[in-house]
Amino acid sequence: MSSAAPAYYLTTPIYYVNDSPHIGHAYTSLACDVLARFMRLDGYSVHFLTGTDEHGQKVEKAAAAAGKPPKEFVDEVSQRFRTLAKTMNFSNDDFIRTTEARHITSCQNLWNAIKANGHIYLSKYAGWYSVRDEAFYAEDELKPGPGGQKIAPSGAPVEWVEEPSYFFDLSKWQDKLLRFYDENPDFIAPESRRNEVTSFVRSGLQDLSVSRTSFKWGVPVPNDPAHIMYVWLDALTNYITAAGYPDTASETYRTFWPADLHMVGKDIVRFHAVYWPAFLMAAGVAPPKRVFAHGWWTNEGQKISKSLGNVINPVQLVERYGLDQVRYFLLREVPFGNDGDFSHGAMMRRMNAELANDYGNLVQRVLSMINKNCAARVPTPGAYTEADRVPLGSADGLLPVMRDAIRRQHFHVALERHGEVVGAANRFVDEQAPWALKKTDPKRMDTVLYVLAETIRRLAVLSQAFMPDSSAKILDQLGVDEGARDFVRAFAPGAALIPGAVLPAPVGVFPRFVVEPAA
Ligand code: MSP
């Protein structure tokens, strides 16, 4: 990648290491992975960050429950998130852990910068706290729980906390934040989340407790180690740590900060779109450019929770259906930003109808016809007809369409449009009936098969970000050079399969899922 390539920095939330990863974690990171891969193919110098959030009471309690010292416990659980990233073929450039020295230095520097600017003061916190959410709640935000006790809006239990605490003067940031949202209309997406955030800020902000004194597992406040930094201040800082903060003169920092996108679930939008830009502005650091908050998955209609025992393990899904099938399904099934429901029925339907029958069948029948009828070589096309320009033109037009959708994080739209071109190509096969041309007009058959192979080349180049392995298999079977698979080269004028080039024997790419009969 040349140094002139534009930079793109995107992040996942860092995941709590209180438990094993599940489908929700895999989903957020998958969306980022697709975006990262797509931007790289589109010529960007991408920095894709994920990692684990390892401090705070919630993790400390989980370690105690597991009967392990916190460090040993977080090492073990963090590793599971790394393994998940490998299993899911995530292409993250860095994996940050909040227990790393680089991060502790970064947190303490950010704290000092905010404090030096007069935005942190010492007082006492007396109020509600939810360990599960790691969040402070005002009395009027709580609702009555099933047993009459107060619970957080998320349904999490809360406890009364009274202790000395440092505060961040969030109440002074209302106007600045509203102005910032106004001046940066793309800062929060989708629209519904933007409205939620602006109305929260408009309703008035209270100063935020940013240190705790009743436990030890966290980053000590500089010069006052009896205080541990609020875990969200610690966690959010990971995004600048990984860009090299506090070394703001470094090449990495200057290239990648401010981040282009923080991808998060809708549950944590307030932390990212309210607290985080306020902390950064208070420290004199530029806020990120965009926060996208996606929806939540349920399982066969039910909320996913450990207590209901219906947590979906992404590794098991991959073992059952295949990696690219799962990657495809998660981003195709639900308009990105909305909530979605996972069901095995829907998974199998999409996998069979859209991958095996549509995309897979297109590739399979075209490649086998070429193998059988063109001596396993790229056929030599004659002059194109009007009809030939339809699949070729729509495959070319797909690049700008998908680019636009992906930049807006409309992953489902990108896949839908891709599927439409697959459909058009399948119709072209049926209309042109190359198998019949074999006897009547073999030259025309060669042209038809060449047009199809070229259409498939473009489709496979464009599906790489979503389904890297399967797309690579298709491109291998078309003999496309590994160096010619990025968008610039693949869509350059004159880029095309070379007639006469020898092709490997075709192999199926998207198997059908066959339900095994009950034994
Ligand atoms: N540690 C904090 C984030 C700190 S970021 C500076 C945290 N961690 S978490 O482990 O609870 O992960 C939260 C994220 O996981 C959500 O924001 C969302 O991206 C993803 N999901 C967890 N469960 C989910 C679903 N059921 N459905 C979709 N995504 C969900 O919060």
The predicted-structure confidence for 408-458, as pLDDT tens digits, reads as follows 999 999 999 999 999 999 999 999 999 999 999 999 999 999 999 999 999
Supply the pLDDT for residue 305. 82
Structure tokens at 126: 């007396």
Give yes or no for a contact between 18 and 8, defined as CB atoms under 8 angstroms apart: no
Average pLDDT over residues 43-71: 97
The type of residue at 291 is V
CA–CA gap between residue 328 and residue 133 (Å, rounded): 30
CA–CA gap between residue 103 and residue 235 (Å, rounded): 9
Average pLDDT over residues 250-264: 98
CA–CA gap between residue 261 and residue 32 (Å, rounded): 9
Residues 6+ apart with CB under 8 A from 422: 358, 359, 362, 459
Supply the pLDDT for residue 518. 66
Whose structure tokens read 């006469």? 500
Q: Where are the beta strands (DSSP E) in 27-169?
A: 45-53, 94-97, 120-130, 135-137, 143-144, 150-151, 159-168
204: left (phi over 0), alpha (psi -120 to 50) or beta: left
**CA 484–ligand 1 middle distance (angstroms):** 37
Orientation angle between helical segments 323-333 and 468-477, nearest 10 degrees: 120
The size of the chain, in residues, is 519
Structure tokens at 264: 């998060």
| pLDDT tens digits for range 271-298 | 999 999 999 999 999 999 999 999 999 9
Structure tokens at 333: 């099934």
pLDDT for 515 beyond 80: no
**CA 28–ligand 1 middle distance (angstroms):** 8
Q: Closest Cα to atom 9, ligand 1: which residue?
A: 15
Supply the pLDDT for residue 86. 97
Query: What is the atom index within ligand 1 of the atom nearest the CA of 297?
Result: 27
Share above pLDDT 70 across residues of the chain, in percent, rounded to a whole number: 99
Q: Closest Cα to atom 22, ligand 1: which residue?
A: 24
What are the residue ranges spanned by the domains of the chain? 7-295, 344-490
Q: Closest Cα to atom 6, ligand 1: which residue?
A: 236
Average pLDDT over residues 110-118: 98
Query: What is the atom index within ligand 1 of the atom nearest the CA of 272?
Result: 6
**CA 24–ligand 1 middle distance (angstroms):** 7
Residue 217's nearest CA partner among 63, 110, 380 is 63
- DSSP string for residues in 305-364: -TTTT----HHHHHHHH-HHHHHHHHHHHS-BTB-EEE-HHHHHHHIIIIIIIIIIHHHH
pLDDT for 33 beyond 90: yes
Supply the pLDDT for residue 308. 82
Ligand 1 binding pocket (C-beta < 6 A) is 13-16, 24-25, 27-28, 53, 235-236, 238, 264-265, 267-268, 296-297, 304
Q: Closest Cα to atom 18, ligand 1: which residue?
A: 265
Mutate to test the pocket of ligand 1, among 264, 304, 317 (most ligand atoms within 8 A of CB): 264
Q: What is the CATH number of domain 7-295?
A: 3.40.50.620
**Mean pLDDT for all residues in the chain:** 96
b vs e for 113-122, b when ≥16 Cβ sit within 10 Å of the residue's Cβ? bbbeeebbee
Residue 212: phi and psi, rounded to 5, are -130, 150
Mutate to test the pocket of ligand 1, among 17, 27, 237, 302 (most ligand atoms within 8 A of CB): 27
Query: What is the atom index within ligand 1 of the atom nearest the CA of 303?
Result: 26
Supply the pLDDT for residue 2. 47
The CATH number fitting domain 344-490, selected from 3.40.50.620, 3.40.50.20, 1.10.730.10, 1.10.3480.10: 1.10.730.10
Confidence band, pLDDT 50/70/90 cuts, at residue 1 = very low
